């Protein structure tokens, strides 16, 4: 069995992420890249320095009206890595009718009972977040929605780790 996951370090969990909070709703990938530059403290110069590229060139590549300079896939990846904002990834996924969620390392370390316990814990946190959001029957705030999404992502990651832990215990051919 092959398990594929994307790991994206995020400095936030489900709190208010500003204008980029709804990237998954179909934002254009170039607009998503520009939004990263607008949200990062220090803007394009700070990003360029951390990426090891010319600020002037990066500014041209992020300018939606510039037809001569284009952001490469490697640059888009670096932009997201140094900023901690996976907006281009989410815009690409939404454009292809997919979703992305953060994956975290398997903290069960191969212990099947620990992996199972972590699934149950994450499901409890997801249930509590959903109950809090839906309790009054009225509108749900963006923060409540992000909280539910966060715990849903955590539950999906813990379920994937449980499946991997179980799969690792299946005997190979000739072993039994």
For the record, the structure tokens of 153 come out as 């992502």
For the record, the structure tokens of 145 come out as 């929605």
Asked if residue 120 has pLDDT above 90, the reply is yes
How much is the pLDDT for 38? 94
The whole-angstrom separation of Cα 134 and Cα 130 is: 6
Name the more confident of 27 and 16. 27
pTM of the model: 0.59
Query: Cα-flanking dihedrals φ and ψ of residue 41, to 5°?
Result: -60, 130
At 35-65, the pLDDT tens digits run: 999 999 999 999 999 999 999 999 999 999 9
Q: What is the mean pLDDT of the chain?
A: 83
Report which of 82, 96, 101 is spatially closest to residue 33, judged by C-alpha positions: 82
CA angle 41, 44, 46 (to 5 degrees): 55
For the record, the structure tokens of 128 come out as 């509590």
Asked if residue 78 has pLDDT above 50, the reply is yes
At 165-176, the pLDDT tens digits run: 888 888 888 765
């Amino acid at each position: 069995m092959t398990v594929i996951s994307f790991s994206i370090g995020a400095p936030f969990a489900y709190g208010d992420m500003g204008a980029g909070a709804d990237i998954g709703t179909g934002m254009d990938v170039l607009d998503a890249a520009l939004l990263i530059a607008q949200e990062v403290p220090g803007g394009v110069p700070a990003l360029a320095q951390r990426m090891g590229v010319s600020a002037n060139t990066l500014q041209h590549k992020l300018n939606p009206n510039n037809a001569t300079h284009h952001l490469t896939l490697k640059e888009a990846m670096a932009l997201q890595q140094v900023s901690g904002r996976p907006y281009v990834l989410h815009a690409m996924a939404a454009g292809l009718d997919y979703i992305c969620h953060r994956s975290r390392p398997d903290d069960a370390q191969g212990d099947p009972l620990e992996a199972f316990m972590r699934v149950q814990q994450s499901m409890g946190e997801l249930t509590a977040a959903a109950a809090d959001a839906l309790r009054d029957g009225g509108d749900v705030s963006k923060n409540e929605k992000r909280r539910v999404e966060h715990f849903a992502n955590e539950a999906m990651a813990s379920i994937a780790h449980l499946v991997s832990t179980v799969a690792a215990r299946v005997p190979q051919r000739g072993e039994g």
